[in-house]
Structure formats: structure tokens, C-alpha cells
Amino acid sequence: MRAWQVMRHGRPSEALELVEVAPPEPGPGEILVRTTASVLNFNEVDGCRGRYLTIDPPLPYTLGMECVGEVVAAGSGAESWIGRRVTASGRGGIGAHADLVAGSTAMAFEAPAQLGDVEAAAFFYPFHLAYLGLHERGRLAAGETVLIHAAAGGVGSAAVQLAVAAGARVIATVGDAAKADLVRKLGAEIVVEYRKEDFVARALEATGGLGVDVCFDGVGGETMTKSFGCLARGGRHLVVGFASGIEAEEVPMVSGRVLCFGNFDVVGVILSYVDDALAPHVTPFAPVPVPRCNPPVATVGQRVHARLLELLGRGAIRPIVGQRVPFADLAKALDAMETGKTMGRIVVER
């Protein structure tokens, strides 16, 4: 089968090669998906660069976190999945940019029937991660104000839609006018082009000085520490990602003094469902130096997916596909993603 493999570290077009490899075998509780589309994630750029510690397998390895396709084989305990059209994650968060992908059923869901393969591929990660952040961890309520960074990206645009659907007021930050236009159409009330305006000042002005109730932050770094200046009492800052530079993942983010006087919460969010029975024993990111790993369990994912399908069915949310690229152009598309000029999700078609 064909697979895009990281052969060396560097920019994606230098690191990646399209090669022929043996197909993976599904193990117990796993499925094998014949892919029709996969999706680019910024973490894959970091993987090509060799700076993503969370997923850092030995070279060479097949890149790719998520895909859509038909289940063509299954390991023991997962036979009922055969023949189903799914959106799924590759085993260990890799392997999805290939013709065949093996992964756990805990990270696989029925592809929405009303969406074609391209749109279905763009649905899973952004909406699950945004929902886990805003609702499972952020406890967002109707009438609250949420600040969403990188709001025109795949996850950011999903967060805007989910917040609007929840009856929240949305303040969104974006990089340029075209991105501002997109998030306004998605329902953001206030849009800040952060290169031109101070988002902290705008957020405080919009809330009468009280601050925002929730900050959905997929950027991290300096953006995170700056955002503390506009969090309300009892506010929740959601640590969703590090688009400003994965190195920030290893840097201490907040002092006890800031937490004490700010009187707000800093909340971690992870999308990596595990089988309920294995949850007490799982260490899916063992090489990463963390004192404890607490990923959500599969039943949480199933509940989230059911809610998302409900919202999709009544037209409250929709995946944003910014670009469709052929499989042969995957490396060049990842190069473009690294510039930060893309909007929505980049879907790779077979």
C-alpha cells in the first residue's frame, strides 16, 4: 500500500516520501480502514520537524492522525465494525496518510451519513476537541462570553460554532480580514485581528471590564499568558493546543501568584479516547514526562459524538473545508499549513 512516511526530520516536503509499505494488521479491539480521505493537522508539521514529543516514534514512520473510510477488517472483539463507514484515528496517532489504517475502536465513530467523505473527514477532530474543551472541561453556559483564539482554523471554527449553538457570546481572534469574514459568518459577535488590535483591551471593553468567562486557546505561549489579563473571576482558560510553537508545551505556564490573585482556572484538554476498561492502567504517552495522564474514556467520546450528530442534523454546525488536495500533493500542503495562512481543514483525497 502507499503511505507518506517521515524519513528524516525537516520541513514536510523535505522530511516526507511517498513509499510502498506492508499494510498494518489490526490487533484486538482494532479496525482496519481503507481510507478515502485523511486530514492535515499542525502537529504533523511538528512531527516532520522532530519536535513533537507526544508522538515521536522512530524513523521511518507513516504520518497522519485521522482519516475517513470503510472498515475492511478487524481484530478480535471488533468484528461488528466491518463494512461500516467511519471517521477514525490511526494507532498511536500516526498512520492515517496511507491507503490502509489500523486503529482502536475507542477512536472510531460512524461517519455522519449526511456528509460526503471530504466533509466527514473534516468533522471528527475539530468538533470533538472543541466540544471536550467548551463543554466537558469548560462548562460553558448560555449567556457566557467566550474568547476563541485562532478562530478561523479547523478547531477554532468548530469552537465558534459550538459556542454560538450553546447560546454564548463569542469574541474571536484571527490573523487577517479574510479569516475575520469567515468567523463573522459563523456567528462571532466581535472579531479581533490580533496583528492590528489588542485582543485583551477589546475583550475587557466588550465585557464592561469584567473579563471573559472562557478562553478557548489553541495557540499557547505568549497568547496564553496575555489572555490571563482578560479572564473573569471564576473564568476557565482552556489549554487546547500550541499553534504558536510546540516548544511552549514544555514551558511552565502560570505561577501560583497568578492563579491565586486571578481567581480563575487553567484547564487542560486532550482528545485521545481510550477503552473504558483500560483507562485505569493506560499510559498512552509514556515517553512524555507528565506526572499523570488522564485521557477521556470511549463512553465519553460516544456521548460527545451523539451530541455532535444532533447539532449537525439541525444545521447548527458544519465542518469547514478550507482546501482539498490530492494525495500526491500532501507534503506541499503541509508546507503551506506551516505558514499559518490556511483556513478551516485541509483534506487529502485519495
Contact 218, 150 (CB under 8 A): yes
Question: Do both 113 and 149 map to the same domain?
Answer: no
Question: Do both 89 and 143 map to the same domain?
Answer: no
What average pLDDT does this structure show over 140-156?
A: 97
Q: Of residues 338 and 170, which shows the higher confidence score? A: 170
Question: Do both 180 and 220 map to the same domain?
Answer: yes
Q: What is the pLDDT of residue 68?
A: 98
Question: Do both 208 and 114 map to the same domain?
Answer: no
Question: Which uninterrupted H or E stretch holds 267?
Answer: strand 265-268
Burial zone of 184 (CB within 10 Å; 0-12 exposed, 13-18 middle, 19+ buried)? middle
**Residue 347: pLDDT band by 50, 70, 90 thresholds?**
very high
User: Can you tell me the distance from the alpha carbon of 175 to that of 177, in angstroms, rounded to the nearest whole number?
Assistant: 7
Q: How far is CA 148 from the centre of its chain?
A: 14
Question: Do both 16 and 140 map to the same domain?
Answer: no
Q: What is the pLDDT of residue 211?
A: 98
User: Can you tell me the distance from the alpha carbon of 298 to that of 277, in angstroms, rounded to the nearest whole number?
Assistant: 9
Which pLDDT tens digit goes with each residue over 215-273? 999 999 999 999 999 999 999 999 999 888 887 887 888 999 999 999 999 999 999 99
Question: Do both 115 and 179 map to the same domain?
Answer: no
Q: Of residues 293 and 203, which shows the higher confidence score? A: 203
Q: What is the pLDDT of residue 248?
A: 80
Q: What is the pLDDT of residue 293?
A: 83
Q: Determine if the pTM surpasses 0.85.
A: yes
The grid cell for 166 is 450553546
Task: Print the domain residue range for 68.
Answer: 2-123+319-349
Other C-beta atoms within 10 Å of 150: how many?
27
Of the candidates 249, 333, 282, which has an alpha carbon nearest to the alpha carbon of residue 92?
282
Other C-beta atoms within 10 Å of 314: how many?
8
DSSP state of 344: B
DSSP state of 196: T
Contact 136, 168 (CB under 8 A): no
The two beta strands, 16-20 and 85-89, are unpaired
- By mean pLDDT, which of 163-177, 229-243, 287-301 is the weakest? 287-301
- Say if residue 288's pLDDT is above 70: no
Which pLDDT tens digit goes with each residue over 54-78? 889 999 999 999 999 999 999 999 9
Contact 150, 172 (CB under 8 A): no
Which pLDDT tens digit goes with each residue over 22-43? 999 999 999 999 999 999 999 9
Q: How far is CA 220 from the centre of its chain?
A: 14
* Count of structural domains, the chain: 2
> Where residue 57 sits, what CATH number does that domain have?
3.90.180.10
